[in-house]
Amino acid sequence: MIIAVNHKINNPKDFWTSAQTNLPKLPEMGVIRVLQVMPHPSMEKATCIWEAESIDMLDKYLRDKVQDWSHDEFHEIDTTNAMGLNL
């Protein structure tokens, strides 16, 4: 499943340190890979495109890795109708 996540980051330093540490270790915990990471210049927001088994698995993975350093909104991407998504 391809999932978009909008992150509102309340602890940018620790959030991005965790990302740099943990993303190279994928796949892990039902999360296959991150396809795109698109941070705001302030690093307090980001939109990321993930491949994971489910939204619940991705949420559990993120909570384990970034704890409460972000509030996240998830939605499944309809890959049949998506444009510009290279899988």
pLDDT at 14: 97
| pTM of the predicted structure, to 2 decimals | 0.92
Q: Per-domain residue ranges for the chain?
A: 2-76
Percent of the chain exceeding pLDDT 70 equals: 100
Distance CA 42, CA 39 (A): 8
Distance CA 85, CA 23 (A): 20
pLDDT at 17: 97
Question: How many C-beta atoms lie closer than 10 Å to residue 76's C-beta?
Answer: 12
Closest to 70 in 3D by CA, of 47, 45, 38: 45
pLDDT at 47: 98
pLDDT tens-digit map of 50-65 = 999 999 999 999 999 9
39 confidence band (pLDDT: 50, 70, 90): very high
Q: Give the chain's mean pLDDT.
A: 96
CATH 3.30.70.100 fits 2-76, yes or no: yes
Yes or no: say if 74 and 66 are a contact pair by the CB < 8 Å rule.
no
Query: In 3-state terms, what secondary structure has residue 71?
Result: strand
